[in-house]
Amino acid sequence: MSKAEKTKQFIIEKSSVHFNKKGYLGTSLSEITDITGLTKGSIYGNFENKDDLAQAAYKFNAKKIGARLLQVSEQCTGGADEKLTAILDYYRNNWRELMQHGGCPLLNAAVEVDDTFPKLIPYVRKSFNEFSKMLESIIFLGITEKRFRPEIESEKFAATIIMLIEGGILLSQTLDNKDYLNIALDRVEFIIQNEMLV
């Protein structure tokens, strides 16, 4: 990477956690300069405006969690049900770290941008679609392995899994209590065991 590209990446990485914690609209440019140690001129030299940086920070956060979930599923050498369980275990085992970084970037952005930051909406939708497609591919794998029931509608099951995970994160984050996430993850495991497996 060139020096300019390194600087741009540095700004994105340093500001990404703060954006996720405080919000894409709630973060001020002066906070970004404090976090990065750079001047406003340096920030504006790499991004058109704060919204441009916020979009880049969101994409960085979303890509990071997406890559981690994909890695978790791919590293699991078991069947499709075990791959789904590995994803659930990721959330169980990394809840505290996730909260320290502001929670799920997809959920945070989805809640924030609904009415206030329309430019970010297409990126958030893309992230959720990619999450869904990843789960759908695992479910389809389970059907081809004949581990999952052939009549399963992968899109609906993927959506249900996402809703339970994100809802569990929302309650756990709001009430600072991991039990709510565990309840949601337990429900997903119940669905896998009782509604999906042959």
Whole-number pLDDT of residue 107:
95
Instruction: Return the amino acid letter for 156.
Output: K
Please answer whether residues 148 and 198 qualify as being in contact, where contact means their C-beta atoms are separated by less than 8 angstroms: yes
What pLDDT is attached to residue 31?
A: 96
Q: What is the pLDDT of residues 47-61, one digit of tens each?
A: 999 999 999 999 999
Instruction: Tell me: pLDDT of 96 over 80.
Output: yes
For 61-85, how does the pLDDT look when each residue is reduced to its tens digit (9 = 90+)? 999 999 999 999 999 999 999 999 9
Using DSSP, state whether 197 is helix, strand or coil: strand
Q: What is the mean pLDDT of residues 168-195?
A: 96
Quickly state the pLDDT bin for 112 (edges 50, 70, 90). Answer: confident
Hey, what domains does the chain have and what are their CATH numbers? Answer: 3-196 (1.10.357.10)
* Tally of CA atoms within 13 A in the half-sphere of 18 that contains its CB: 19
In the structure encoding, which two tokens stand for residue 144, read together? 């081809």
What is the model's pTM? 0.93
On whether the CB atoms of residues 146 and 198 are closer than 8 A, the answer is yes
Mean pLDDT of the chain: 95
